[in-house]
Amino acid sequence: MKNAFFYKTPIGEIGIAEKDGFITNVFFGRTVKPENYIVKETPVLKQANAQLEEYFSCNRKIFDLPFLLEGTEFEKNVWNALFEIPFGETRTYKQIAEKLGKPNACRAVGRANGLNPISLFFPCHRVIGTNGKLTGYAGGLEAKQLLLEMEGAL
């Protein structure tokens, strides 16, 4: 069973879920919520929210929380590559595929990026198209643009 709590942010209300003290999910109003969760604010969820507040005020660039990635090995590798994209920078799907040693896996990287269960903390908003255009984001393209502008990446 997961615990989840909802917080207001500059990009709208988000939910953060945890299991056994590890952050497992971030979800927006239109995204799929984790199954079997109860609404309960726990210490790690409070800590996650506090770090997000610091991030949104541009006082935090790196998140220091316990995370539990739930996915395939390839998905986890993509998500870890997302975590390494510095604040204020972007990468393309192609660059991530190349970083993983799979230069022809751009679509698979895109799919894994779209399945990222811990967006914001594992910043899939920092991934853009090869042409420099913004591509899909679970929180919506307006939120993606706001995040990138806030970080100075646009």
Q: Which alpha helices (H) appear in 9-140, and where do they start and end?
A: 43-56, 73-83, 93-99, 106-114
Task: Say how many C-beta atoms besides its own lie within 10 A of residue 100's C-beta.
Answer: 17
Could you tell me where the beta strands, DSSP code E, fall in the chain?
A: 2-9, 12-19, 22-28, 37-39, 91-92, 127-128
Give the Cα separation of 88 and 86 in Å (integer). Answer: 6
Residue among 52, 69, 82, 124 flagged as catalytic = 124
42 close to 50: Cβ distance less than 8 angstroms: no
83 close to 123: Cβ distance less than 8 angstroms: yes
Residue 124 falls in the annotated catalytic set = yes
Active site residues: 124
